[in-house]
Amino acid sequence: MKPPRQVSKTEKIIFPIIGIILTCFIVPTGLPLLGMLFFGNLLKESGVTKRLATTASGPLIDIVTILIGLTVGMMDLDALFAVGPESTAMAEAAQVNARIVVRHFPSTDALWRDLRDFLKPGDQVLVKGSRGMKMEQVVNHLLEWFPN
């Protein structure tokens, strides 16, 4: 696998803006969840609002994570698989909806085993995460398990 290329600051700022716009048109019901995530990325990458970014990465992120969890819990989803310590509050908040299966994992390694048993051909999956969380490995496993 080739090493990832260096991403410019402009690309890092434009990506969340385009992401929000596309989400509005393609999946408007996902806007509360993806909008918050894109907004957080925009704050971090813009650097213009240092104090707001500092606040957003501290106590505000905990509040937003809980709100995202509540939003996800109210959406018409079958399951939420969360990975890492930062997603614990979101997973707990999403459990307000008894219809949704919520599972939290400490690492992607633990996620893979459970995910393979849970998913079946034809399921739709949204993978949101970072390279730090190794989400590209999750996508690679999904493509390997369920080739088109």
- Dump pLDDT digits (tens) for 77-128: 777 788 888 777 777 777 776 677 888 888 887 888 788 888 887 777 777 6
Contact between 111 and 81 (Cβ < 8 Å): yes
Cα separation of 138 and 91, whole Å? Answer: 18
Are both 81 and 53 inside the same structural domain? no
- What's residue 69's pLDDT? 65
Which residues span the domain enclosing 99?
77-148
Residue 93 lies in a domain: yes
Residue 143 lies in a domain: yes
- What's residue 72's pLDDT? 63
As for how many domains the chain has, the answer is: 2
pTM for this prediction: 0.51
End-to-end CA distance of the chain: 21
Of 27, 24, 118, 122, nearest in space to 79 by CA: 118
